[in-house]
Structure 1
């Protein structure tokens, strides 16, 4: 069990350097998976999320992180390849999936034909 508090040397998400995931558990499954379970929902924007729990990212063949852009910046130093999965929902990376019915004006890049204003 880890307290879940960690610091970044350089500002990350939102310009912050101090983070708190609250109590965090590392679980080893019988099938060989290592899971990090946090009390507070925390986007994967930092390798420190792993290293402060005594996990060495380079020890893993595969790291699965749920996020659209945050994992790319966070894990670029240790992951030579990224496989993006385009799932539906409000955090989709594919903006054409979103219905913008309430927007007053068309906006690029949501509508590719829109004029930059």
Structure 2
């Protein structure tokens, strides 16, 4: 499959985790920018993608992200598109002969009444 560059119509920021040194700071890291690239973002069709996580009803919002090939993007990174922060759940999958990459990502929101 070859990447269609005409469909790369969204600006996507790629961020990597930065851990703080020391045992007591475990889990308190931050994120730093790696790059901002043009990508194609396709939301998955709506479904009953809700589950119970530690007693909280959570709705996932999966999407497919395609971009030009890069060799520095790992599953530990995340994508930021506008106000959406999405973790990588599958990929990267190589499209063609290093034409592009495809990822499955998802962001979360608490299901139900937000009031």
* TM value normalised by structure 1: 0.29
More helix per residue: 1 or 2? Answer: 1
* TM value normalised by structure 2: 0.29
